[in-house]
Amino acid sequence: MITYSTNWMGPINEDWIAKHGKDYSAGRIDIRDDSKDGYDGWYEYGVAPMHSEDWNALSDYLWDLTTEELLSYNELIEQFETHYGKKIRWADE
């Protein structure tokens, strides 16, 4: 079984926050495949800054998500947006 979770890592750069505001979160998606031993079953996808409300919704979604096959980053985002009912508000858009 494969599980997914978010790992918040920022932004913490004061210049970036001054330009974009405090309502953004970024980090990575941590992935664990329990069918593999040790670190062989560990993966991660980097996640660009998005509105913190969307980050929190993504975190909640991933907390309950399990799959038999590893989903690609794009598949995860597409499935989340379908579940969420709207597009993620990325910082660069």
**Which DSSP string corresponds to 22-54?**
S-EEEEEEEEEETTS-GGGGEEEEEEEEEEHHH
**Does the structure show a pLDDT above 90 at 16?**
no
**Whole-prediction pTM:** 0.91
Each residue's pLDDT tens digit, 35-64? 999 899 999 999 999 999 999 999 999 999
Sign of the C-alpha dihedral computed for residues 45, 17, 58 and 6 taken in this order: positive
Name the residue among 5, 44, 47 with its Cα closest to residue 26: 47
